[in-house]
Amino acid sequence: MTSVPNAISANPSGTLARTDLPLPGRREGKIRDIYSLPAEAPTAPRLLIVATDRISAFDVVLPTPIPGKGQLLTEISVRWFSFIRGLNVIADHLVSTDPIDLPGIGIKHRSSIEGRVMICRAAEVIPIEFVIRGYLAGSGWIEYQEHGSICGVRLPDGLRCGDKLPEPIFTPTTKASSGHDEAIDYERACTVAGRAVIDRLQNVALRIYCAAAEYALSRRVILADTKFEFGYAVDEHNHISDELILIDEVLTPDSSRYWPVERYQPGREQDNFDKQYVRNHLLGLVEAGQWDKTPPGPDLPPQVVADTVSRYVEVRDRLFGRDSSRAGS
Ligand SMILES: Nc1ncnc2c1ncn2[C@@H]1O[C@H](COP(=O)(O)OP(=O)(O)O)[C@@H](O)[C@H]1O
Ligand SMILES: [Mg+2]
């Protein structure tokens, strides 16, 4: 395995809501813009993934970007990829974070995407989100109150919102190409991706979660839950291989719930470093009848933007700040 390149540190001065690079195959996720990089044999095809400053909530991309968020997400992901490589449990898609490796991209475009790019091995995405929960929160808490279980995993009675689970659990969801992801049980995940694959990736996801949660706790952060994506690497002949790799972003505040340990108090909703803060602001609008969770989303007020930036910065600093014994190195 090659070593993970250092992320360029976040420079939250510029805001980037959308990219338009002179590269083929542009597609747009809610947060990231993705391009194909021409494959040159004997190299397998690569993707360019650019993290913009877009933010989504309830699967709606909001009109107001969060300045510097894309750089923070990239930096946090890259640090975690490095940590995960040290675990030796699975290969991943990250090849480079250096825009210099992009053919045909001039200086102007290059500087606009600095610190936001991951050059990755292309993969056939497995259409399942591998959600791992160590604590009871969010949709898991709602499902538990109704059924006493999450995604078919039976839990002890009497748990409170925010309680630590007896052990981390795998609660898969579908990865819907449009609309909302749907919670499914283990058997349904096996029907989608095959039992041997789900068995293996469940183990991989649990191992990464446990190691990452332990590291985060040593940095005064609770990793309450997170979501991984996996895929089959595309090989140098442009064929889908049988090599399973970890893809997408990893363990970012967009894909995870992070809580400051000193304010952790089960029995209520936790203070957090993730986008729950934005969700709560929006839920206030929903309750006031000013928004119905459908596009277009409402503008965010400057204070909410500023508070959101500082949450992303704080979790980055706690996890990987200067005083840290650097993860994975
Ligand atoms: N190595 C890869 N190969 C192919 N697709 C990938 C790879 N890594 C991530 N992706 C996909 O790229 C997209 C990333 O953009 P994002 O804004 O997160 O999209 P989404 O709205 O689907 O969450 C996701 O759909 C993810 O599944
Ligand atoms: Mg995503």
Rounded distance from Cα 187 to ligand 1 centre (Å): 24
pLDDT in tens, 274-312: 888 999 999 999 999 999 999 999 999 999 999 999 999
Per-residue pLDDT, 179 = 73
Q: Into which CATH architecture does domain 125-291 fall?
A: 2-Layer Sandwich (3.30)
Residue 10 has pLDDT above 80, yes or no: no
Closest C-alpha residue for ligand 1 atom 26? 248
Per-residue pLDDT, 323 = 58
Report in angstroms the alpha-carbon separations of 75 from 69, 78, 156, 218, 292. 10, 5, 38, 19, 33
pTM over 0.85, yes/no: yes
Per-residue pLDDT, 180 = 80
pLDDT in tens, 223-251: 999 999 999 999 999 999 999 999 999 99
Q: How confident is the model at residue 80 (pLDDT cuts 50, 70, 90)?
A: very high
Q: Into which CATH architecture does domain 27-122 fall?
A: 2-Layer Sandwich (3.30)
More confident residue, 107 or 240: 240
Residue 254 has pLDDT above 90, yes or no: yes
For residues 161 and 187, what is the distance between their CA atoms, to the nearest angstrom? Answer: 27
For residues 211 and 218, what is the distance between their CA atoms, to the nearest angstrom? Answer: 11
Q: How confident is the model at residue 13 (pLDDT cuts 50, 70, 90)?
A: low
For residues 123 and 235, what is the distance between their CA atoms, to the nearest angstrom? Answer: 9
User: Which atom of ligand 1 is found nearest the CA of 122?
Assistant: 3
Rounded distance from Cα 262 to ligand 2 centre (Å): 29
Stretch 4-16: mean pLDDT:
55
DSSP state of 21: -
- Gyration radius of the chain's alpha carbons: 19
Residue ranges of domains in the chain: 27-122, 125-291
Tell me which residues have their CB closer than 6 angstroms to ligand 1. Answer: 29-32, 34, 47, 93, 120-123, 125, 229, 231, 247-248
Average the pLDDT over each of 51-60, 106-115, 241-250 and give the range with the smallest value. 106-115
Per-residue pLDDT, 107 = 87
Per-residue pLDDT, 329 = 41
Stretch 188-216: mean pLDDT:
98
Closest C-alpha residue for ligand 1 atom 20? 29
Stretch 97-121: mean pLDDT:
89
Rounded distance from Cα 249 to ligand 1 centre (Å): 8
For residues 171 and 151, what is the distance between their CA atoms, to the nearest angstrom? Answer: 5
Of 93, 125, 180, best ligand 1 pocket probe by most atoms within 8 Å of the beta carbon: 125
Exposure string of 269-291, with b = 16+ CB inside 10 Å and e = fewer, is ebebbbbbbbeebbeeeeeeeeb
Residue (of 176, 129, 184) closest to 153 by Cα position: 184
Report in angstroms the alpha-carbon separations of 12 from 8, 9, 66, 73. 12, 9, 9, 11
Q: Cα 76 vs. chain centroid, distance in angstroms?
A: 10
Any idea which ligand is nearest the CA of 18? 1
Stretch 203-214: mean pLDDT:
98
Residue (of 43, 133, 46) closest to 35 by Cα position: 46
Residue 105 has pLDDT above 90, yes or no: no
User: Which atom of ligand 1 is found nearest the CA of 32?
Assistant: 17
Per-residue pLDDT, 288 = 97
Any idea which ligand is nearest the CA of 32? 1
Residue 152 has pLDDT above 50, yes or no: yes
Any idea which ligand is nearest the CA of 34? 1
Per-residue pLDDT, 230 = 98
User: Which atom of ligand 1 is found nearest the CA of 31?
Assistant: 17
Quick one: tokens of 321?
Answer: 């700040």
For the chain, how many residues are written? 329
